[in-house]
């Protein structure tokens, strides 16, 4: 057995050959080191990211928290010093009331149960409860924080999220040329969307969900149809 290399279809137990890399290699999700070699632990396509990161792109719906990832969550408990946020993992994440921009002991951030929060995972370990922050290391919120009212939150599979977040995503490019919308994508399989009207929101959400099963060349056609539906109403 020669082992699989980048772009190959792998199943758990396959030996993976990391080719064309010098220096340190980072094993991402779906890969594990066993003794001498590297094995796949998930079914999917072996991919290589920047900085020699190798991972397996696989079908998955359940989110397992990983440090540094930006996720969308719904606040379930906003009492006390720690807010509880449901991010779709087995444990609820917690977020301190001080982890917001300009928050001090006197100046508590305005967070209510049911709010949608976009945060970065500060702590994510299999043995600990995940912890979110809504500021970067300079105390600036950037794009993180409580999302405004009027948005629509829906869930999708994790590989669709990765597909949406690729540097050039044909769907978002094509949609962006025709419509104005705000889209927040959490790596935990949640998407937040806001457009001008309810109808537009639902159509865009449908398009995003359908993107899961689309090949790149089918995207333009799907978007054209969507615009046609919108204009015909």
Partner 1 sequence: MPRPLLHSLLSLILNQLTRVLHAVCSVYKQNFLAMNSNSSNGTHSDDKEECSVRPILCELGVITRPDGSAILTQGHTVVMSAVYGPSEVRMQRLQVDRAYVETVFRPKAGVPNTSDRLRETIIRDTCETAMIATLYPRTTISVILQEMEDSGGLLACSINASCLALMDSGVSMKFLFAAVTCGVTEDDLIIVDPDADKLKECKASLTFAFDSINKNVIASYTSGTFPVQTYNNGLEKCRQASDFLFDFYRDIVRKYASTL
Among positions 75-134, residues that touch partner 1 (CB under 8 A) are: 90-91, 126-127
Q: Is 45 a binder of partner 1 (CB under 8 A)?
A: yes
Q: Is 214 a binder of partner 1 (CB under 8 A)?
A: yes
Q: How far is CA 160 from CA 33, 84, 103, 189, in A?
A: 27, 26, 34, 8
Q: In the block, which residue shows the tokens 């537009």?
A: 200
Size, binding site for partner 1 by CB under 8 A:
31
Q: Which of 61, 67, 140, 199 forms a contact with partner 1 (CB under 8 A)?
A: 61
Q: Which of 75, 67, 76, 125 is nearest to 100 (CA)?
A: 75
Q: Is 5 a binder of partner 1 (CB under 8 A)?
A: no
What residues contact residue 213 under an 8 Å CB cut-off, 6+ apart? Answer: none
Q: N- to C-terminal Cα distance for the chain? A: 58
Q: What is the spatial distance between Cα 79 and Cα 68, in angstroms, rounded to a whole number?
A: 25
Q: Which of 18, 25, 64, 230 forms a contact with partner 1 (CB under 8 A)?
A: 64
**Site residues (vs partner 1, CB under 8 A):** 9-13, 30, 32, 39, 41-45, 57-62, 64, 90-91, 126-127, 158-159, 163, 212-215
């Amino acid at each position: 057995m020669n082992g699989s290399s980048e772009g190959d279809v792998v199943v758990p137990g396959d030996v993976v050959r990391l080719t064309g890399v010098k220096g340190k290699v980072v094993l991402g999700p779906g890969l594990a080191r066993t003794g001498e070699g590297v094995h796949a632990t998930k079914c999917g396509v072996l991919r290589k990211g920047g900085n020699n990161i190798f991972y397996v792109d696989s079908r998955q719906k359940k989110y397992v928290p990983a440090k540094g990832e930006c996720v969308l969550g719904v606040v379930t408990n906003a009492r006390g010093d720690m807010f509880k946020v449901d991010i779709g993992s087995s444990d609820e994440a917690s977020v301190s009331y001080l982890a917001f921009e300009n928050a001090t002991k006197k100046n508590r951030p305005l967070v209510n149960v049911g709010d949608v929060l976009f945060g970065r995972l500060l702590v994510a370990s299999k043995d600990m409860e995940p912890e979110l922050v809504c500021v970067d290391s300079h105390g600036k919120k950037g794009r993180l924080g409580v999302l405004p009212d009027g948005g629509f939150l829906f869930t999708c599979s994790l590989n669709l999220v990765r597909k949406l977040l690729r540097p050039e995503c044909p769907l978002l490019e094509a949609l962006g040329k025709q419509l104005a919308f705000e889209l927040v994508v959490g790596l935990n399989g949640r998407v937040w969307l806001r457009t001008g009207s309810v109808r537009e929101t639902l159509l865009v959400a449908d398009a995003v969900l359908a993107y899961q099963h689309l090949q790149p060349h089918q995207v333009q056609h799907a978007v054209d149809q969507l615009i046609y539906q919108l204009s015909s109403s």
